[in-house]
Each structure stands twice: as structure tokens, then as C-alpha cells.
Structure 1
């Protein structure tokens, strides 16, 4: 276990070094963390979201409001998750190949960037990697109970994070267990998915009027699920923006290595499957390849936008056969051939690591700068009476609600949860503000409200605040 422990340890250290622990929380993060924080009101939890990541942060959020503590906690926990996910494969594949697969995944800029963030995608990736390892172990050892329990638990974690991703992840496993007539793995797959989805189903009836209505609202929130060719969107966004919606950015990949490895990955996966087939270990490469392709389907063919984090579960699985191919290239054939291929592979990996870490440092620097003003302006909001028992709507209402302790609502957009008429009815009873960026149009309901400007660290206007009159 030394090699996979080393990879997990380096993953934790790298996150702490390269992803600034004081980096402010993003909009989605504030929604998830606010659900369990005793210090502030829970923000609106829309139909597509699931409670898994909220449960992950709950132990820390219950005792501290510190962003640094949250980042460190998630860095260490994600490294432990990577270790456990690779450990699930210890009876299926050589640990050095597993360590290589884990290192390839952990060194992706998007895996480093989201390790310390309260977002579900990385956890789906780790749960999926563990689930496939346990599934293959269960096929090899029919009488063993630990791999069956691990399989059910891993799929339950994935379903808690996002039921739709877990369904696509579990579909190949369900089909393979059915074809092999393996009842216990089949029950473990179904039981894990059902256990993890139970909370989502219960909430669907409690808040949204049932499963069908929640799925309908989720589709509307995502812009209408259906057949879409999003492969180009995924390729254009592999180096950011972190949310490409609408994905109309131009092809301008810097560094170029990010695009090259993404395009080469399918070839590495096919090569890895062929190598493992020749070695009599076809399942060890084919099953993760099938599950990786399956979990990528909704993000490549069913939505019309993209984000680099969406494909993290696919990368975690596809890099297992890719690592098998790389290991085979540098350990077979004559000594001269091995040396030559090792040199080529080493140069390629060095270029890959350089490109990934350059992108990571750029993305972290941009994110830190773009979020730094949100906690900075909190005292200025307090001077306007916007602290504690207050109501915010408009631009950045969710993260600013998190930092000020105000309740955030939206009168338009994907997360609409209040009408303008209801907002006007509530405004006289508590401090209420509409937040706009300079130059934004003012909606009709707020044109008579008092106008104030909030200045950022650079002396420029960050927000234009319209305060509602008090009753």
C-alpha cells in the first residue's frame, strides 16, 4: 500500500500548496454549506441539487465558519478518499499501476482545484473508482462479503452526491452482473443506488410534488435536457471557464498540453484495454472504461453547456486502463526499447504536469482575486444595515448572503425562488437590498428604492445597492 499512500499524501500536500486555503467560497459552495451552518440561514436548494456534499461538510460547518478550516478539511478528506478508492483495487491490479493511475488523476488541474472545494463532482469520481474496484473484486471472490459491502457503499455515496451520475455509473455494472448471472453483485448495485437515492426521493415528494415533477424542474434548471452535442463544449472548456454557459468561448488553449492529452486519452484507453486483454485481465481495463464512458454520456450528449469538473468521474475511471498501457510500454520488450519508451513517456508526462500546474495556478489566482472583494465589502454592507436579519437579491446574492448572514433570494434566472410581488411584501419587515453591478439595468420594482454604491479594494465600484424603504 506504500505507493497508493504516497500518491494520496502528495495529493493532499499539493492541494494545500497550490490551492490557496483562504480562497473564498463560490456560489454553489455557499448553497451547500449554508444548509448545515448554524451561523446563517439556508440558501435556496434547487431541484437538481443533492445533499451528499452537504453531509460531507456538516461535521466542520457545525463547529466553525472558517473558510481556511473548510479548505484544509476537504483537502485531507479528498486525499483519504483517493487512498480508499485505490485501495479497493488492491486485489484486482498491481498497486504500482494503481498508483500511476491515481497520480495521473490527482495531478489534473481540475482534480487539484476541486479537492478542497465543497462541490460533488470529485466525490462522485472517487466513489465511482471505488465502486468499480469493489465490483471486480466481488466477481473474483464470490464468497467474500467486504467487496460487496464496499460496492454498495460506494454507489450509495455517488447517489447521495448526484443520483443521475450514479445511475449512469451503475448501469454498466448492473448489466455485467446480469449477464454474468451474479446475484449478490446485482443486489449490491441496486441496493447501493437505492440507499443513496432515498433522501433525494423523499425530498422530491416533500418539496417538489414527486419524482416526476422534480425531474421536470431539474431539466428546466439545466436548460432542457435532451440530445445535444456537447463534446465541442467540453473540449473548449477543459482549461476554463469553470462554468461554460453558454459555451461560446473560442478555441484558445494555453498551454496546448491540456488539449493534447484530452484528445489522446481515448487512444490510451483503447490501448490499455488491448494490453490487459492480452495479459488475461480484460475486465480490469474494460469495466472501468465502460463505466467511465457511461458516466460521461450526460455531459457530452444531454446538456448544452459544459464545465471542466463535469468529467472528473470519467477521468478517474478512464485513467486506469490508460495507466495500464503506460506501464506496459516501459516494462516490456528489449532493454533498449524500454529505455527509449521510458524517456518518451517521461517527457510526455513532464509536459503534461507542467501544463496542468500552470493552468491550476492561473485558475486559482483568478478565483482568489475574483472572490476576494466579497468578504471585504461585508463591513460596508453592515453600514447599510445589511447584516444578520436581512434579505438580498440580485448579483452575488448567495455568496454575499453567506458572508453577511442575510437570506438570499432570486426573482429571475435558473434558481428563481420568489416573485417580485412577494419580495415587495417582505421588504418592509426587514432590511432588503437589490445588488447590481455597475451598468446593470434596474428592474421596475426597485426604481424608487434608495441607491448606494459599495467600493471594492481597488477603489472602484463593486456593487450598486438599492435599499427598499422600511415599513
Structure 2
């Protein structure tokens, strides 16, 4: 590392120097990606089960159970990503390992794309700061799209800046198109918010006014979102109808500032809806208060360093604010995974400022020790939250396994049908289709249709908390099930077509 890591030249052309830099990148960026993979495999993989959203995505390509209802807001990108494993094995552990390795590789590629723009120490620290968040650790091996939007956003902004600086860099344009398409195939709306600052930058900055830049961004968004738009026309009554329905399912998009909700969710709540819980763990949100200060500090250091670093980090910050805006201002609930793309981009200016701060503290042992201890405490807290969530997931997975085993003993064997409370996860674990009666956003069958189907197909409706069964299942056979977390007095009402297995002879 040079005496000042922020003054390292960004571009060199001598082959020997290029090879030396590639080796340096591998030594600094490679361990960050490897540590990210190891942390996932240690904390978030062993014994964890599929969440509700994960089950919906995985069921679309699984050979283990019929596909769950796919509601209007969802896109199929993450289903494509898990298909090579989910289509051949029901093993959740195999799926988790597959995604952990892929996400670690994506982190390495994302950081490496920024190498002509920022020094390697800055990128290594940025990668560690992002990968060390409990959201990145928890969702790295999960079948959820938000982390992949984060990688797509990081790659897209980096490739945009590389193409803007070197008009002849066709690989950067290809990368820009592919990265924008990756974000769009995962979450089309997020890709539009990502594209907005890139298109504006191409129009505002004189040196970047090249038609190829906005055209490539638009092409990537169209390519990635094409399947979602086609599906809207075929199955949702058109694009506008699907957009309207997606807004309804998300609670109605409007002016709903949710900063306070997101702050409270940092303690380990994967979904805060409605977010009326007390803020019981303020220490988990301290880094959120420090984040704006560190971003501004990094931008100030970059401004003094020159127009190159300043424009680079300013665009990354603008893109981060753009992709975060809809979730902070227009969605009336909080899920920490929504902000992963913003955190990935904001890690760059934060790291830029911290590297300068560490360099300035080299001759001050107490200051340097304090900085190292603060970072270590931050990483330890994030790992502890991720470990707690994984432990909770293991308990939930064991509970669903017990429920599925009991339902199979009561005659619910494929082909079969499950409706009611937690039908998606229970049905998938049992190998059954999950169908909800019209009325909710997952309604996919009428009550009469379900009763008619249950005459020949083993079926069950699940209720919890002592609630009565729906009227159309009032005469079905009741059977108490092992409780699920948060669902006491869990009971199944089984159709006559579900015949319990005979007890083994004594």
C-alpha cells in the first residue's frame, strides 16, 4: 500500500504494472469475498429453513412441490438464480451453499469493476463494510432479490463511470447493460430508480453527454424487465393493472415517510409491518446515525482530492439516495433488505473517508486503536444479529418439519392441497399445492372450487389461535398440529379425501 492510499493512480497502461495491480486486487479484495462466504456458511446456512417469500420464489422452479401463487409485485429473477439447484434437489442446505458462493463471487466482481475508479484499499474496506451488515450476511444465502439488486446497482454505477471516462470502452457498456438488466430482472421498479440518476448524470455532466450511456441504461432496464411486462399482459390484465395491483399489495404507494420504522427494524426485524413495536435496542441503530456523517465526510475528502474522485462518489451517493427514496418515503412499512442497494453504494464514500482517517491516525496509536475497536464492535454486533436470526430460522424450520410430518400421517400426501394460515410454507414442506380463497392478495381459487377439488384431492385448511374453520370446511375432520412460532393452537381441518394412515400393529 502506498503512503497515501487515496492518491494511487486509477489508470495505468504498462502491462507489468497491470499484472501487479491484478495481484494486489486479489490479495486485498479476494479475502473480503472469502470472509463473506465463510461468515455466511458459518452463521446463516446450517439448519435454516425457507422463509415465506423464499418459498414462493423457490416453488416456481422446484420439482418438490407445485408453484405457489405469484402475486403482482414479484419478479422471477431470483427464481432463475436458484433454478440450477432447486430443480434437482429439495435440500435447503444445498440451496443456501449455492447462493452463499454466488453472492460472494458477485461481491468480488462488483468491487473489481470499480478498480479503475477507486484505489484497492478503499474498495476492500467498502466491501467489508457492506458484507459485514447483518442484512448482507442474512440475505446472502437466501432466495431473495434485494441483495442482487444491490450487486447490480454497484456494477451498473461502476460500469457507467468507466464508460463515461473512456468512450472507447465497449466492455464497460456491455457491463452497464448487463448490470442494469440484473437489477431489473430482480425488481423492475428498483431498476427504474437506479436508472434515473444515471440518465440525469449523462445529461448534466458535459464530459458524459454521450447518447450511448442513457441508451445502454434504458436497454438494460428494458431487457431485464421484459419478462415482467410480458407476464403482466398475459396474466394480470396489462402493465398498468399489474402496477396498480402491486401498489395495493404493498399497502398503497403514497407519502409515507418510514425512516423511524427502518431505524427500529435494524434490531433484527426482517419485516416491520405495521411497525408499531418499541425501539428496544437503540445500540443496533447507532451506525445509522453515523452513516450520513461518514458519507458527507467521504465526499468532502473526495472533493479535496480532485474532480475525478468527487464525481465518482457523488454519483454513487446520488444513486444510493435514489434507490432508497421509494422505501424511505413512499412505502408505509419497513424491511431492512429494501435498503441493501443503497448501503452497497454508500459504502464507497464511507470507505473513502475512513481510509483517509486511518491514514491520518497512523502516528497516533490511541486514535488508531479507537477506530479499530469501533469497527470491530460494529462487525461483532452485526454478526450477533445475523446469528440470532439464523437461530430463529432453525427453530421455525424444525417446527414446520414437525407440522408437515403430522399432516402426512393424517393422509395429506401428494398430490394434495393446503389452504389457510401458513399454507405456502406448510404446503411446500408437505409437497402440496397451496391455494387461498379469493379475498386476499394471494387469492387463487374460489371456495366452491376448493371444495370441489377436495372431493378427489387430499386437502386441509389450517387455522390458528382457536379460530373456527371457514364455513365450507366446518364438517371436515379437525386435527391438532404441533404449534408454529407465533401461531398457538394450530389446527388442521382435513377433507374426507385425506385419510389418516393406519396405526402400526403392536
TM-score range, shorter chain: over 0.9
> Which residue number corresponds to residue 347 of structure 1?
373
- The aligned residue for residue 314 of structure 2 is 286
1:156 aligns with 2:181: yes
Tell me what 2:249 maps to.
221
Runs of 4+ in 1 over 4 A off after TM superposition: none
The answer to whether the 8 Å contact 1:453/1:461 transfers is no
Distance 1:171 1:382 in 2: 51
Conserved 8 A contact 1:237-1:307 = yes
Q: In the TM superposition, what is the alpha-carbon distance from 1:39 to its structure 2 partner? A: 2.6
Cα offset, 1:169, TM superposition: 1.1
Q: What are the superposed Cα offsets for residues 199-233 of structure 1, whole Å, 9 maximum, x if unpaired? A: 11110101001110000110111111111011111
Q: How far did residue 391 of structure 1 move?
A: 0.8
- More off after superposition, 323-332 vs 43-52: 323-332
Task: Tell me the equivalent position of 1:123.
Answer: 148
Deviation at 1:108, TM superposition (A): 0.5
* Equivalent residue in structure 2 for 1:191, among 203, 219, 242: 219
Q: TM-score, normalised by structure 1?
A: 0.95
**For 1:87 and 1:441, how far apart are their aligned partners in 2?**
57
> 1:457 Cα deviation (Å)?
10
TM-superposed CA distance for 1:340, in Å, is: 4.3
Please show how residues 209-248 of structure 1 align to structure 2 within 5 Å: 209-248=237-276
Identify the residue that residue 97 of structure 1 maps to in structure 2: 122
Change over 3 Å in CA distance of 1:260–1:422 after alignment to 2: same
Larger Rg: 2
434-443 or 9-18: bigger deviation? 434-443
How far, CA to CA, are the matches of 1:57 and 1:20 in structure 2? 15
2:452 is matched with 425
Matched-pair contact (CA < 8 Å) for 2:466–2:489? no
Runs of 5+ unmatched residues, structure 2: 1-24, 499-506
Alpha-carbon contact 1:177-1:185 (below 8 Å) kept = yes
**Matches of 1:93 and 1:124 in 2, distance apart?**
22
Give 2:436's aligned residue: 410
C-alpha separation in 1, matches of 2:482 and 2:126: 47
The residue correspondences of 1:241-390 to structure 2 (distance < 5 A) are: 241-253=269-281, 256=283, 258-280=284-306, 281-332=309-360, 336-337=363-364, 339-390=365-416
Task: For 2:92 and 2:455, locate their aligned partners in 1 and report how far apart those are by CA, in whole Å.
Answer: 33
The unaligned stretches of length 5 or more in structure 1 are none
77-86 vs 35-44, greater mean Cα deviation = 35-44
Q: Distance in 1 between matches of 2:343 and 2:318?
A: 12
Residues 1:421 and 1:10: Cα distance change in structure 2 (over 3 Å): same
Paired residues of 1:329 and 1:341 also in contact (CA < 8 A): no
State the Cα deviation string for residues 12-52 of structure 1 (Å, max 9, x = none): 01100111332111111111111111232111111000010
User: CA offsets, 1:247-289, max 9 Å, x none?
Assistant: 11111116x1x21101110111111111111101112211111
In the alignment, the residues of structure 2 paired with residue 69 and residue 174 of structure 1 have an alpha-carbon distance, to the nearest angstrom, of 40
Q: Secondary structure at the match of 1:331?
A: helix
CA deviations over 1:151-187 (Å, ceiling 9, x no partner): 1100100000000011111110011112231211111
Structure 2 residue aligned with 1:435: 462
Question: What SS is found at the alignment partner of 1:248?
Answer: coil
The 1-side partners of 2:488 and 2:285 are apart by 37
RMSD in angstroms over aligned alpha carbons? 1.8
Secondary structure at 1:425's aligned position in 2?
Answer: helix
Partner of 1:109: 134
Write the distance in 2 (CA, Å) between the matches of 1:364 and 1:393.
27
- 1:85 is aligned, of 100, 110, 114, to 110
Given the alignment of the two structures, is residue 15 of structure 1 paired with residue 40 of structure 2, yes or no?
A: yes
In the alignment, is residue 445 of structure 1 matched against residue 472 of structure 2? yes
TM-score of the superposed pair, with normalisation by structure 2: 0.89
1:461 and 1:130 map into 2 onto residues whose CA distance is 45
Deviations 1:402-439 (A, max 9, x none): 11111001224332222323222322121111012242
CA distance in 1, matches of 2:109, 2:367: 31
In the alignment, which residue of structure 2 is the partner of 1:465?
492
SS in 2 for 1:433: strand
Does the CA contact (< 8 Å) of 2:154 and 2:345 recur in 1? yes
**2:77 — aligned with what?**
52
Answer yes or no: is the 8 Å Cα contact 1:11–1:112 preserved in 2: yes
Q: Give yes or no for the alignment of 1:454 onto 2:481.
A: yes
- Check the 8 A contact 1:241/1:307 in 2, yes or no: yes
Q: Secondary structure at the match of 1:319?
A: helix
- Number of residue pairs matched by the alignment: 466
Kindly indicate whether the alpha-carbon contact (under 8 Å) linking 1:326 and 1:345 is maintained by their aligned counterparts in 2.
no
